Chain A
Amino acid sequence: MSKKEHDVSRRQFLNYTLMGVGGFMAAGIMSPLVRFAVDPLLKGKEGAKMVPVMDVKDITNEPQNKKFTVKKVDGWHKFDEQQIAYIFKKKNGDILALSPICTHLGCTVAWNDDPSHPNQFHCPCHGGRYTKTGINIPGTPPPAPLGVYKTQVKDGKLYLGEVISRGGS
């Protein structure tokens, strides 16, 4: 008698089989659907193509505002996106291309347009300021330095790629 109580009853067995078959059908239907839906998460990110922006010989020590277009593909939608970079030579001669997107809330910063703070990047939205190399000045809203473009010099031309964030604190 006591042994029988530990056995799986016929009803329990049927219920387990039912759950098994039901689970199989649910998995069969849902797995392609779910994989289809989460595809954006699993799609590898394609690095931006390097785009020629200007001649290296024209780069000065003063940041220059350069507009350039990048071909973007958003699913079935292909479009040209206009991007802006502030390009200049650092003291050691390295080329630095800064993204003017303020790290505070995404406004566009401008170079040297605030008379009270010369030679700084200034954000018109909330008064954020950055040094010439794009480091955020303590006491202003931005939490992180400006992003920098990946740069490459080829045949006397400066090529820009994706923006690399310089972290934040």
Chain B
Amino acid sequence: MHRGKGMKFVGDSRVPAKQAKFIPPKDYSEYPGKTEAFLPNFLLKEWMVGAVFLVGFLILTISDPSPLEKEADPTSSGYIPLPDWYFLFLYQLLKYPYASGEYKVIGTVLIPAIAALALLLAPWLDRGFERRPIKRPIATLIMLLTFVAMVYLTWESTVSHNWEQAEQQGKIVQTVDFDKSDPGYKIFSQNCAKCHGDNLEGSSLAPALVGKGLDPATVKTMATKGGGQMPSGIFKGSDKDLDALAKFVSDVSKK
């Protein structure tokens, strides 16, 4: 550093009087062996790793479009949310009885706070001079146990989650225009709309009918006898109403 020496003043700015010769930083004489300069030798190796990583990453982005569910609807009920995968362990933790209900604060604050503080203060909790994991068994063991616990909790939460329902409840639905004064729609809203939605868009209880291309005969059987998740005898009305309903649902489902 110049520390004011060898500077000549030009106006009120300081400019070095003589171009000081650059002295390269000290080498790692404390680590004898094959050290090498950061630029270009080592950086090239890092960038090769980076290039391979980038290719893999771009392939991932192209092959798996990022998910987008339907637009948020605060009035919707029965939606079961799932956080991003890296918060799943916390999500699962809150399901256990000792971390929920009146003990909720244990799961939401106490355990995460202890973990965060322990991580933050690790240098003072583990003060020995040993650096090899095997020579400081307590620190190593705690970290490994935490890691195993997080993996286990994450795994548990994915096993107990109903993925099919999750996919169904967030699906973007195509809305179609149809005539709401159709006599069939009145029958539909009395009998079916509770589960299949006012616009036949489906809900967490039943699938969408839009885009299914249903035959009138299929609609009739489903409405009276049920099938799949649908119980029998949902439809209550005359045969004439059933005909109108079947025609209406079939027409809209083909749009």
Direct A–B contact in complex, judged by CB atoms less than 8 Å apart: yes
Is A15 an interface position by the 8 A CB rule? yes
A10 to chain B, nearest CB (A): 9
Interface class of chain A by DSSP: helix
Residues of B within 8 A of A (CB-CB), count: 12
Partner of B47, one of A15, A25, A29, A32: A25
Write the B112-125 contact mask toward A (1 if CB under 8 angstroms, else 0).
00000000000000
Write the A5-27 contact mask toward B (1 if CB under 8 angstroms, else 0).
00000010011011001101100
Partner of A25, one of B39, B44, B51: B51
Contacts of A24 in B (CB 8 A): 51
Contacts of A14 in B (CB 8 A): 40-41, 44
In the complex, the chain B residue whose C-beta lies closest to that of A24 is B51
- Is the CB–CB distance between A18 and B43 below 8 Å? yes
Is A28 an interface position by the 8 A CB rule? yes
Please measure, in the bound complex, the distance between the C-alpha atom of A24 and the C-alpha atom of B43, giving whole angstroms: 15
- Is the CB–CB distance between A18 and B54 below 8 Å? no
- Is the CB–CB distance between B55 and A17 below 8 Å? no
- Is the CB–CB distance between A18 and B51 below 8 Å? no
Partner of B54, one of A11, A17, A29: A29
Binding site for B on A (CB under 8 A): 11, 14-15, 17-18, 21-22, 24-25, 28-29, 32
Shortest 10 CB-CB contacts between residues of A and residues of B: A14-B40, A21-B47, A18-B40, A18-B44, A15-B40, A28-B54, A21-B51, A25-B51, A25-B54, A24-B51
